[in-house]
């Protein structure tokens, strides 16, 4: 009952309340990033949702679009702005995903949505992570976040799908707040994770 009905209802209620409550932060950060990134405050990217259906994930934009003389984007470390580093370090860059939750593309809690090109690389068991909507935070994130290797992350994701419950979601939510406050397991630069190559 919780997995198929109440989880979605709770997601929509809490995401709407979160957007309203955090509106001042949204406004301040949006205007600051508009200035910092020359008119671009948000970053969108294709990600697979439930059953692999592609949607546009939205985040605050933390890197500029500066390019080298050949027109190629500079390395992430050179494009991450001072403000962007603060926004990412505090996990504020994830807040716009509340709109993804409200729309129904995501859940507050679930496996993190990864890149679409990873879809053919999952084992049959790893594909179970896509049997539910992806989340802003999840079981893997409170058990290492970006500090654990891919196969371990997927084990955590599948375990969550198979053991999903209201009590487990409450536990994940509480531990997520704790980790964010303590800045634990946070990758400050996109792209510092080793890409998932698949199972050999």
Is a pLDDT exceeding 90 seen at residue 78? no
Place of tokens 């993804």: 100
Which tens digit of pLDDT belongs to each residue from 92-139? 999 999 999 999 999 999 999 999 999 999 999 999 999 999 999 999
Asked if residue 39 lies in contact with residue 151, where contact means CB atoms within 8 angstroms, the answer is no
68 band by pLDDT with thresholds 50, 70 and 90: confident
CA 78 from chain centre, in angstroms, equals: 22
Size of the chain, expressed as the number of residues it contains: 200
Report the share of the chain in percent with pLDDT over 70: 92
Residue 191's pLDDT band, with cuts at 50, 70 and 90, is: very low
Report field, pTM of the whole predicted structure over 0.75: yes
More reliable by pLDDT, 18 or 38: 18
Average pLDDT over every residue of 33-43: 91
* Helix and strand counts by DSSP (H, E) for the chain: 7, 4
- Is 54 strand, coil or helix? strand
Residues 76-104 have a mean pLDDT of 92
For the chain, give every domain's residue range: 2-181
Give the pairing of strands 54-60 and 107-109. unpaired
Q: pLDDT tens, 151-186?
A: 999 999 999 999 999 999 999 999 998 888 876 654
Assess whether pLDDT exceeds 80 at residue 145.
no
- For 29, the token pair is 């950060």
Closest CA to 130 of 42, 50, 18: 50
- Distance (Å, whole) CA 86 – CA 67: 22
Pick the range with the lowest mean pLDDT from 2-6, 43-47, 92-96, 177-181.
Answer: 177-181
| Residues in contact with 160: Cβ distance below 8 Å, sequence separation at least 6, in sequence order | 110, 111, 138, 139, 140, 168
């Amino acid at each position: 009952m919780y997995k198929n009905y109440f989880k979605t209802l709770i997601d929509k209620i809490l995401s709407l309340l979160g957007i309203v409550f955090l509106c001042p932060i949204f406004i301040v950060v949006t205007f600051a990033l508009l200035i910092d990134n020359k008119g671009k405050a948000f970053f969108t990217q294709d990600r697979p949702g439930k059953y692999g259906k592609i949607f546009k994930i939205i985040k605050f934009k933390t890197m500029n679009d500066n390019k080298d003389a050949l027109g190629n984007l500079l390395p992430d470390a050179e494009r991450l702005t001072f403000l962007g580093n603060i926004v990412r370090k505090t996990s504020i860059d994830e807040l716009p995903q509340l709109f993804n939750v409200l729309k129904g593309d995501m859940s507050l809690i679930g496996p993190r949505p990864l890149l679409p090109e990873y879809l053919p690389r999952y084992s049959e068991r790893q594909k179970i992570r896509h049997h539910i909507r992806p989340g802003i935070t999840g079981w893997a994130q409170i058990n290492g976040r970006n500090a654990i290797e891919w196969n371990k992350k997927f084990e955590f994701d599948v375990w969550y799908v198979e053991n999903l419950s209201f009590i487990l979601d409450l536990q994940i939510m509480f531990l997520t707040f704790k980790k964010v406050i303590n800045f634990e397991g946070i990758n400050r630069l996109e792209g510092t994770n080793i890409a998932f190559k698949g199972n050999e």
